[in-house]
Amino acid sequence: MFFEAFKKYETEIAGRPFVVEVGKMAQLAGGSCLVRYGETNVLCTATMADKPRDGVDFFPLSVDYEEKLYSVGRIPGSFQRREGRASEKATLASRVIDRPIRPLFPKDMRNDVGVVATVMSVDPDCEPGITAMLGVSIAISISEIPWDGPISGVVVGLVDGEYVINPTLEQRAKSDMYVTVASTSDLVAMIEAGANEVSNDDMYEGIMFAHKENQKIVEFINKIKEECGKAKVDFPSNDPDPEMYEAIKDFAIEDIRLALDTDDKRIRDERLKPVYEKVHEKFDEVYPEMEVKIDECLYKVQKYVVRRWLLDDGKRVDGRGINEIRPLNAEIDLLDRVHGSGMFTRGQTQVLSITTLGPMSDAQLLDGLDEEESKRYIHHYNFPSYSVGETKPSRGPGRREIGHGALAERSLIPVLPSVEEFPYTIRVVSEVLSSNGSTSQGSVCGSTLSLMAAGVPIKAPVAGISCGLITEGDRFMTMVDIQGLEDFFGDMDFKVAGTKKGITSIQMDLKVHGLTPAIIREALDKTYKARCYILDEIMAPVIAEPRKELSKWAPKMVTTKIDPEKIGDVIGKQGKVIQKIQTECDCKIDIEEDGNVFISCTDLEQANRAKFIVETIANDPEEGAIYKGVVTRLMSFGAFVEIAPGKEGMVHISQLDVRRVEKVEDCVNVGDEIIVKVLPKDDQGRLNFSRRDALIEVEGLTPENDPAPRKDFRGSKGNRRPNKNHNG
């Protein structure tokens, strides 16, 4: 029944109001609603095309999560002052919404379906991503689009040992886990987790805690669906004719069994080519203009063979045991001048990860809807076409690359050192060289090797592994380390990364409606055992802990802290002071608002010199300290010496030398570098120095043991330049 009247539904989620408004906005969409969670507002719509496009052999679903900067009171920083391409966080939010809703659409439907969630207002305590997931579920449920929903999604946190649903901004900052769980009325449909080395038991209990909350919300959505949902429409099925499928299956099944029975993807693909040719030669005339359907039948026969092997015979395509991992290999230091490199190989999946270290100013600036303005750990994942033996032009990262990079990033963040411990921006790039299943988890292992080889003091090594699933009615079986074919024809890709202590990330992709608690428990247990094996037997023998020293090609970083009120003195008018320090010391200096100073330089000695200059500018020179300075002016009564930009004091003529000086010019010239000792300030607070005392203290000179003629006793332009140890 088409609804026109405005309707409003209210409930509470985690103690905050959740309001759904139907019939007020976007009424020409198939289904639409404005969802308000706290003060977060998201408009969600779902629309389906009237008929399938010609030649489409898959279900064309698009999910777009649109961030509008007006939702947080900001104007876009682009030249045109409008939102551009989706941010990485928006892309990740789209993927999180896509994963639980996609399996619930009919598998034989080919009509385009478009889902759009537009974020219009953001309350930091009420995450717009979760609000959008709920809104999308409602929009599809009340539309005419065939769908086996609804689903619900919540986030579960672990704060001070207690599980919290949809933690607030303050709670998220101290939570030990951030797990997004989506559910149908009875099954867990999606898990996306980041955690601080959380145990299997704590993770499992958290998932079940979220699942119970989801079941309550599904009941609420079902009431909305019953009251104002449209009747679901019929659609033309795209499944091949059963008679055609059975004929092709009977003709080709033995050839397909022989073709698939190998552990080498290349051999399998070569074996399948003549099978396809043979089938088309026989059936193209029987079923004219049905080549696409014939190929789909061949795909279904392969799926049938693989699933029967697994469920009935416990046999895997490559001959492995159900819980056996493919051959593994780990290497480091494969590239010459990079800061760190590591390669991890699992069967025919191979990932090379490269670590680059940079100053804190290289941190990535973020222009999104949340409170995070920058990040110092950046993980990029590249999946070139040659990795699967294909040729395609490179068009930049797509949603898959962004998602896998974010998963690896989330897996490693919990073990990274703090800025105080390691004041670097860290970028890791994972290059997929060969792909036959679970490259994202291969990138986690390779990146751990690369980080340790680069000398990044991570708290513990991290490894990742995937677990697959085959279901049939109430029967199910799980298998560790699925390869590509088992991923294509199986029902689950349950990816878990972590240390020996606990989980750091989970990502679960499903092709079925959801998982039972027993499947989740088994997957967690199997991936833990496999993870420990990889860490102990494969990675540890190659590199057991981070190197103590950085690569000679990596920048050396020193830090200090100054009074924030002195930042202006260090920077100087129009940045002249800090630019001068950077030029003289061949370094890069970054100063934060709180007074933290980060100095990056390939030469550690120069970095320490820059640090000394910064501290000298920001702090009053300590009485009695020795400095190296430059003579800037000569007066009849003495010379002015600058020990740091803006820090100038006078050396009285009586303090210029261990001998008596008649004229200042006899001893120093403008531009000379000399050492001086800090004397007490005068009555007006001005700096005073003694070159005489510095020479006595550093050089051990006196009038009696100084052999130099007075007129030749210069600084850097004379015949002797003090070069012994001193603070400068």
- Position 322 in a domain: no
Both 69 and 19 in a single domain?
yes
644 and 582 inside one domain: no
| Count of structural domains, the chain | 5
pTM of the model: 0.85
- Whether the pLDDT of residue 544 is over 70: the answer is yes
Residues 633 and 590 in one domain: no
Angle at alpha carbon of residue 673, lines to 667 and 677, rounded to 5°: 80
Instruction: Specify whether 518 is located in the same domain as 603.
Output: no
423/419 Cα distance (integer angstroms): 4
Question: Where residue 562 sits, what CATH number does that domain have?
Answer: 3.30.1370.10
Residue-number span of the structural domain to which 342 is assigned? 328-539
Question: Does a structural domain hold residue 526?
Answer: yes
Both 255 and 221 in one domain: the answer is: no
Asked if the model's pLDDT at residue 80 lies above 50, the reply is yes
pLDDT over threshold 90, residue 612: no
Nearest to 423 by CA among 343, 349, 486, 361: 361
Give pLDDT, residue 706. 66
For residues 476 and 498, membership in a common domain is answered with yes
Using CA atoms, how far apart are residues 174 and 171, in angstroms rounded to an integer?
Answer: 6
pLDDT of residue 720 exceeding 80: no
Q: Are residues 612 and 635 in the same domain?
A: no
Alpha helices per DSSP H over 504-635:
517-533, 567-571, 576-585, 604-618
Per-residue pLDDT tens digits for 247-265: 999 999 999 999 999 988 8
Dihedral of CA atoms 355, 356, 357, 362 in degrees, nearest 10, equals -130
For 69-83, 138-152, 521-535, 565-579, which range has the lowest pLDDT when averaged over its residues? 69-83
Q: Judge whether 17 and 38 are in contact, CB under 8 Å.
A: yes
Angle, nearest 10°, between helix axes 265-283 and 291-308?
130
Q: How high does pLDDT run on average in the chain?
A: 91
Beta pairing, strands 113-121 & 61-67: parallel
Domain membership flag for residue 725: no
Q: Tokens 């920048």 — which residue?
A: 555
What confidence score (pLDDT) does residue 283 get? 93
Reported as a single tens digit per residue, the pLDDT across 651-670 is 999 999 888 888 998 889 99
Task: Name the burial class of residue 709, with classes exposed (0-12), middle (13-18) and buried (19+) by CB atoms within 10 angstroms of its CB.
Answer: exposed
Question: What is the average pLDDT across 405-431?
Answer: 95
Residue 534, number of CB atoms within 10 A of its CB: 24
> Last residue of a domain, which of 539, 570, 604?
539
What is the C-alpha end-to-end distance of the chain, expressed in Å?
Answer: 83
Q: What is the pLDDT of residue 498?
A: 97
| Mean pLDDT of all residues in 7-33 | 95
Judged against a pLDDT cut of 90, whether residue 479 lies above it is answered with yes
Place of tokens 């606990």: 502
The structure tokens listed for 355 are 């670590």
Domain boundary among 577, 598, 618: 618
- Residue 545 within a domain: no
Helix or strand or coil: residue 581? helix
d(Cα 492, Cα 487) in Å, to the nearest integer? 7
Question: What is the full DSSP assignment across 109-135?
Answer: --S-EEEEEEEEE-BTTB-HHHHHHHH
pLDDT tens digits, 310-342: 998 889 988 899 999 999 999 999 999 999 999
Q: Report the amino acid identity of residue 229.
A: G
Tell whether 470 is covered by a domain.
Answer: yes
> What pLDDT sits at residue 430?
97
Confidence of residue 12 (pLDDT cuts 50, 70, 90): very high
Listed range (52-66, 329-343, 418-432) with the worst mean pLDDT: 52-66
- DSSP SS3 for 631: strand
| Segment 559-565 mean pLDDT | 91
Residue pair 698/626 in contact (Cβ under 8 Å)? The answer is yes
- 724, part of any domain: no
Cα–Cα distance, 97 to 129 (Å, whole number): 8
Cα(381)–Cα(244) distance, integer angstroms = 42
- DSSP characters for 209-251? HHHHHHHHHHHHHHHHHHHHPPPPPP----SPPHHHHHHHHHH
Note whether residue 71 is domain-resident: yes
Q: What CATH number does residue 189 fall under? A: 3.30.230.70
Q: Is residue 318 part of a domain?
A: no
Whole-angstrom CA distances from 718 to 72, 650, 672, 690 are 65, 20, 9, 18
pLDDT of residue 582: 92
The CA–CA distances, whole Å, from 461 to 351, 362, 658 equal: 17, 25, 60
**Are 307 and 265 in a shared domain?**
yes
Q: What is the percentage of the chain residues whose pLDDT exceeds 70?
A: 96
pLDDT digit string (tens) for 525-534? 999 999 999 9
Average pLDDT over residues 130-147: 98
* Residue 438: pLDDT band with limits 50, 70, 90: confident
Of 478, 510, 539, the residue that ends a domain is 539
Average pLDDT over residues 621-642: 89
Q: Are residues 292 and 384 in the same domain?
A: no
- Does position 646 have pLDDT exceeding 80, yes or no? no
- pLDDT of amino acid 4: 56
Amino acid 473: pLDDT? 87
Residue that the structure tokens 């777009």 belong to: 64
